Structure 1
Amino acid sequence: GLPDKTFYTDASKADKLKAYQAHVAKVLELSGVAAADAAKQAEEVVKFETRLAKASKSSVELSRDVSLYYHPVSLAEADALTPNFSWTEFFKSQNVAAPEKFSLAIPAFHQEVSKALGDTDPSVWRAYLRFHTVDSASPYLADAFVQESYEFYGKTLNGQKEQKPRWKRVLGTIESDAGEAFGQLYVKVAFSPEAKAKMEELVKNLAASLKERIQGLSWMSEETKAKAIAKWETFTPKIGYPDKWRDWSGLQTNRDSYLGNVRAATAFNYQYNLAKIGKPVDKTEWGMTPQTVNAYYNPLQNEIVFPAAILQPPFFDAKADDALNYGGIGAVIGHEMTHGYDDQGSRFGPTGNFENWWTEADSKNFAGLTGKLVKQFDQYKVDGQAVNGHLTLGENIADLGGLATAYDALQKASAGKEDAKIDGFTRDQRFFFNWATVWRTKYTPENAKVRLATDPHAPAQFRAVGAPSNLPTFTAAFQCKPGTPMSRTGDSQVVIW
C-alpha cells in the first residue's frame, strides 16, 4: 500500500506509516466494518504488510539490478519453493498452458507469502484483502471513498493541495485503461507528417553523433567498442504512434457503473496480456500512448520510442531555431539512445537478450566512471535530504550522454551557418537554456520525499544542472570559472559516453 519498503522500516517515515494505518481503518469502516473492529484490523493489516515489505526489494534494488527480474524455474521448482501456493493450479485457473519454465522474480518474497498462507490467521488475510479490494476501487466509488483516497494518497503522502476536478480524474482513468484507443483520436488533430519527418531527421543526426562518441572513447577497448556499435546498428526508432493500432472491439462499457467500466477494462487488458503467452513478440506494440509527453527506451527490443505529444514546446517547435530543438527534443533523443548503454541497458545485447558483451577491464572502467556520477548526485540535497545517486544513476548517465550527443549533433547541423545571436544569446547558450527549460517542475515537499525514495529520476532542478556541469562546452558558453559548481574539472568531472 505504500510506495517503498522503507516506508515500513525507516524511523524517518514513521509518521507516514501511522497515517497509513489510520487510512486503512477508515477504508475498512467505510466498507461496513464497525469502527472499533476496523481499528484493530488496520493494526493487523499494517503488521502483515510490514512483514511483506521486509521480504521485498527496495526501489533502489529493483531499479538498479535488472537481473533480479530474471529467475527462470520449472513448475515443479516453483511449487517446491512455495508449498502453500500451487503455481501449477494458478496457471490452470488462468487458462494458461503449463509453461516449461517461467521467471519467478524475487523468490524470497514468494517464499514469505507461502509461509504467511500457513501461519497467518484467516481473519488477517480477510482484512488485508478486504482493505485492498475497497481501497483500489475507492477512486471510482461514492464521494466518501473518493475523498478518503485523496486525503491519504493525494494530501498526506504527496502534499496535494486540492482534489483534481472529476473530469480530469475520469480522463486520467480512460488514459490509463484504454489510452491507445484515445490516441487514435489525438493524432488526427495533433500530429502532422511534417513533425514526423523533422523528428526522423533529428533521430538520424543524433544517432550519427552517438556513433562517433562511442568510436572516440578512450576508456573502452576496440573489442567492446565493436559490440557497442553492433548494438547501435540495431536501434529501432518509433515516432508518433503505432503502425498497427490495437483492437479494442472486445471491451464492453456502459453508463451504469464507473467501477464496472474500470473492472471491465482491467479484465480486458489482463486477458490481452495473457493471450500473448507462447506467441512471438509483437514488435509493433507500444508501451506509451501517443498523447503521452514522454519517451522511453526498451532494452528487450533495443528500441527508442517518441510519442506524438512530446513533439511540442518546449521540447520541439517547428518554428524555433535548431539550438532550442536540439537542447530540447534532441537531448531527449540522445537520452533514450544512451539508455541502451546505461548501467542496466548495457547489460542487454543488440537483439534484446540479457547478456554480457563487455571485457572485464572495460566493465571495471565503466563502473569507475559511473561511480563518480553516483558521488556527484549524492551531494545534491532537497530540504536537507540527499538525492540517491545510485537510485538515479541510469537516468543521470542518460542525461549526461544524451546532452553531450545532442550538442555534437547541433554543431554538425549548424556547420557553416552564422552564429547569429537571438535575444542577445549565442547558439550554444540557447541550446543549454532549453535543456534547463524542459525541467521546469515544482514538487510539494511531501511529494519530493516520496520521489527521493522511489523515483529513478533525480529531482528536476538537479537534472537541469547536473549534466551540463560536466561539459566543457557549457563552461565555454557561459564563461564559467573552472572549479565552480557549474564547471567541473579534474576528478570531479564525469565523462562516460
Structure 2
Amino acid sequence: MKKMVLTSLLAASALVGVVAVHAQSATPAASATPAAGAPQIGDFGFDIAGMDRSIAPGNDFYGYAGGTWGKQTAIPADKSSFGAFDVLADLSRTRTHDILEAQKATGSKIGTAYATYLDTAAIDARSLAPIKPWLTRIAGLTDKAGYPALLAEADRMGIRGPFGGGVGQDAKQPSLYALGLRQGGLGLPDRDYYLDAKFAPQKAAYQAHIAKMFTLAGEANAEARAKAIVDYETGIATVSWTRVESRDANKTYNKMIVADLTKSAPGFAFATYFKDIGTPVDTVIVGQPTAIAGIAKAIADAPIGVLRDQLLMRSLDAYADVLPTAFDQENFAFYGTTLSGTPQQAVRWKRAVDFTSGALSDDVSQLYVKQYFPPETKAAADQLVKNIITAMNARIEKLSWMAPETKAKAHAKLAAFTPKIGYPSQWHDYGALTIKPGDAYGNQMRANAWQHDWNVAKLGKPLMRWEWGMTPMTVNAYANPVMVEIVFPAAILQPPFFDPKADLAVNYGGIGAVIGHEMSHHFDDQGAKFNARGELADWWTPTDVANFKALTEKLAAQYDAYEPLPGVHVNGHLTLGENMADLAGLTVAYDAYHKALGGKAAPMIDGFTGDQRFYLGWSQVWRRNYREAQLKKQLVTDPHSPSEQRADIVRDMDPWYAAFSPAPAGKLYLAPDARVRVW
C-alpha cells in the first residue's frame, strides 16, 4: 500500500532515514564491562563460527569476518537478498503476527484488517467487483480537461501518477509545511531501465506484464496498448533527472508560484490538480523543474487513451494484492521475480502483517513496544547516543579543514539534535478510518485515503515534531535534516546491532556506528547544507566547502572503482552520502568506544583485541547474500552501496591497519596518503 511521506520535502536519509540531548553536557558511560549474563550471539556478541580465517583481512575483510556465514546461508525463497536486517525483520514480523492473531478474536480494528486481508477466498469470490466502479471512472475519461481531477482522486487512493510529492516541511522555512512536487510517471525502477540497452530484457518483460494484467482484466488489444504505455513512459524517462541530480538539496529546492509553474510547464492544469488533492496553494516547491515541464509536455502530446491506460495499469498494480489471485501472482512475477530475482512470494500471513502494520501503524506499534521494548534497552541506547554525540563534538574540534567559525556552528547543530529512540512520544488516532470485515480492497483504499488526508491536512498547522517516518517494528534508522533529528526504531536495537549483554566493542562497532552514521548524515554532502534550525542555508565558508568536496570526491572515486558484478560498478556519487556516513559513523564510534573504556585497556576475548572486535562487530551487521537481479537493481537505484563495500570502508581507517596488520600487497590496503579522512 502507498505510504505518504511523513518527513520533509527532502527525503530523510535511512540506514539501508522527545528530549533533545545537548552534546556539551553528555558524559560517557563509566564502565566498559558488558552487562551480566550471556550475549545472544557467540561468547561476546560476535559469530566467530561465521568467519573464514583462510581469507586475509587485508584482501577481503568482509569475507574474513563473515565468509563462512555467506557460504552456509541460503537466501529464503521469498527474499531477494538476506542478511542481519532480514533476520530481525522476520523476528519483528513474527512477533507482530502473534499480536495480530490474538487480536482477530477481539473484533478490534487491527484484528479485522488483518483477518480480512488473509481471506483470499473472499477476495477471489468478489472478483473485480470492488474495483469496478473505479475502473469505470477511468474508462469514462473522454477529454484531458478531466485528467487532473482523476489523477487527484487516484493520488488519494495511493495510485502513482506522473507526479510525486506531498506535504512536508519547507526546507528553507522548516517550521512551516509546504506542498512539494517531484517527477514520477515510471513503472520501472529507474529511467535507466528505459534508456540503457542492458535493461532491454526487463523493459520487454514490463511490456509483457502490462499486457498480461490488461488481459486478466478483460481488456481488448492488450499488447498494442501495453506498447503504447511503455513508449509514453520512455519519453518521460528521457526528460527525468538522474538519481544523482535528484539528491542535490539545492537543485531540488525550487519554490514557484503555481501560475508560474503552469507557464513553465504547459500542458497540465496544476492549479486544478492541487485543489483536487486537497492543497489549493499559491506556491509549490518543485524538485526537478525541467523534468516536470517535460512530463507536462508528454501528457499534452499523449493520446487520451494512453493516459487512461497508464492509470488503469497503475491501479491494477497498486491493488493487485487485494484483487483476485491471478492479479497478485502476475504482479509478483514481474516486480518480485523478474526485477528482483525472488523465486517465491511471501506467504499471505507475512503480507497481512505488513498491510496491517502500514494501514494502522500506531495501533499495532503500541502493542508491540509494550511487549518487546523494555525500558532498560531504551536507557542503554540513550546513553550510547550521548557518547557518540560527545565523540562527534571532539572530532569536529580537531578538524584541520574546517574554519573555527564553522566549527562553532557545527557544535551548535549537534546541541540542537533530537534523538528519538524506540517509539514516538504520541500516537496517531485512526478513529476516522473505517475498516470493514470482508472488504480487503475497501480497507486498503480507505487506509490510503486516511494517510493522504492526514498528510495534506498539515498545511497551515503547527509542526508535528512527534511524528515518525518509521514504525517501531522497522529494522532501520534515519536522519531527518529539517527536523535536526536521528531516529532509531525499537526493532533495530537488538543483536547483532545492540545487545546490553555483549562486549562493549561489538556494540560500538554495531549500533554505535549506526548511531554515528545517522548523526553524520547531518554533516554529509547534503545534510551539511542544513543549519542548526534545519534550514537549507549556507553556513560553511567557501573554503570549507571546497576542502570538503576535495575529500569526498576521493571517496566517490574509491567507490566508483568497485565492481560487485562483472562490468557493473558502484556509482560513487549516488552512494556518496551513505558511504560518507559509514566512514564518519565508524570513526566517531571508535572514538566513543575508547572513551567508554575509561582509560583502561580492553581485555583480550577469544584471542581478539578490543579494536579487532570493534571492526568485526561492524562487518557482522552487513552480512548479506544477494540474488543477482536484486544486486543489479540496487546498483542502479539505491543510494546505499552493497554490503561488502560498506563493510570494507574500514580500509580508510588508520586504527584498522594497526588492528589487523594487512599486507601492503593486499587488495584493501591503501597507503596512508590515499586513505580518505573526512572526520
- Is TM more than 0.5 here? yes
Which of 485, 502, 519 is 1:337 aligned to?
519
Return the letter of the residue paired with 1:84.
G
Q: Equivalent residue for 1:41?
A: 225
Change (3 A) 1:419 1:372: same
User: Which deviates the most, 431-440 or 225-234?
Assistant: 225-234
Task: Provide the C-alpha distance between the structure 2 equivalents of 1:347 and 1:101, rounded to a whole number of angstroms.
Answer: 23
**Which residue of the other structure, out of 167, 186, 193, is the alignment partner of 2:368?**
186
Q: Distance in 2 between matches of 1:62 and 1:496?
A: 24
* Separation of aligned partners in 2, 1:5 and 1:248: 37
Q: Percent identity?
A: 46
State how 1:193-232 maps to structure 2 within 5 Å: 193-232=375-414
* Partner residue, 2:584: 401
Matches within 5 A, 1:95-106: 95-96=278-279, 98-106=280-288
Aligned to 1:53: 237
TM-score (norm 2): 0.71
The answer for the alignment partner of 2:140 in structure 1 is none
The CA distance in 1 between the partners of 2:666 and 2:195, in whole Å, is 39
CA separation of 1:91 and 1:125: change in aligned 2, threshold 3 A: closer
Alpha-carbon deviations, 1:255-277, whole Å to 9, x = none? 22212111110000000001101
Quote the residue 2:425 is aligned against: 243
Which residue matches 1:89? 272
For 2:216, which of 19, 22, 30 is the aligned residue?
30
Q: Deviations over 1:402-435 (max 9, x none)?
A: 0010000000111233422222211111111110
Q: Are 2:611 and 1:425 equivalent residues in the alignment?
A: no
| Residue of structure 1 equivalent to 2:202 | 16
Residue type of the alignment partner of 1:56: S
- Aligned residue identity for 1:417: K
Q: What corresponds to 1:470 in structure 2?
A: 652
Match of 1:169 in 2: 351
Determine if the alignment matches structure 1 residue 116 to structure 2 residue 298.
yes
Structure 1: 4+ residue segments shifted above 4 A:
none
| SS of match in other structure, 2:420 | strand
1:220 CA displacement: 1.4
User: What's the CA shift for 1:482?
Assistant: 4.2
Provide the C-alpha distance between the structure 1 equivalents of 2:655 and 2:226, rounded to a whole number of angstroms: 56
Task: Write the deviation string for residues 174-210 of structure 1: whole angstroms up to 9, x where unpaired.
Answer: 2333323221111011111111111111011100000
Q: Which residue of 1 aligns with 2:548?
A: 366
Does 1:71 pair with 2:247? no
- Whether the 8 Å contact between 2:477 and 2:487 is mirrored in structure 1 is yes
Q: Aligned partners of 1:486 and 1:428: how far apart in 2?
A: 18
Structure 1: unaligned runs, 5 residues or longer = none
1:483 Cα deviation from its structure 2 partner: 6.1
Determine the structure 2 residue equivalent to 1:327: 509
Secondary structure of the residue aligned to 1:381 is coil
RMSD: 1.4
Q: Distance in 1 between matches of 2:605 and 2:424?
A: 37
Task: Within 5 Å, give how 1:151-162 maps onto structure 2.
Answer: 151-162=333-344
- Cα distance between partner residues in 2 of 1:441 and 1:335: 19
Contact 2:235 2:298 survives alignment (8 Å): no
User: Is 1:376 matched up with 2:558?
Assistant: yes
The letter for the 2-side match of 1:26 is: K
- Cα deviation digits, residues 153-178 of structure 1 (max 9, x gap): 01111000211111111212223333
What's 1:309 paired with? 491
Alpha-carbon offset, residue 326 of structure 1: 0.5
Alpha-carbon distance in structure 2 between the residues aligned to 1:144 and 1:100: 44
Whole-Å separation in 1 of the counterparts to 2:622 and 2:358: 24
Matched residue, 1:4:
190
Conserved 8 A contact 2:246-2:288: no
* Offset of residue 246 of structure 1: 1.3
Aligned residue for 2:582, secondary structure, equals helix
The within-5 A match list for 1:276-287 is 276-287=458-469
- Give the structure 2 partner of residue 353 of structure 1: 535
SS in 2 for 1:249: coil
Q: Which has the higher contact order (CA 8 A, sep 6+)?
A: 2
CA distance in 1, matches of 2:475, 2:643: 15
Question: CA offsets per residue over residues 263-297 of structure 1, 9 Å max, x none?
Answer: 11000000000110111211111111111111110
Provide the C-alpha distance between the structure 2 equivalents of 1:410 and 1:418, rounded to a whole number of angstroms.
11
Q: Residue in 1 aligned with 2:97?
A: none
Name 2:168's counterpart in structure 1: none
Supply the distance in 1 between the matched residues of 2:250 and 2:409 (Cα, whole angstroms): 21
Give me the whole-angstrom Cα distance separating, in 1, the residues matched to 2:295 and 2:554: 39
Moved more, 114-123 or 124-133: 114-123
Equivalent residue number for residue 16 of structure 2: none
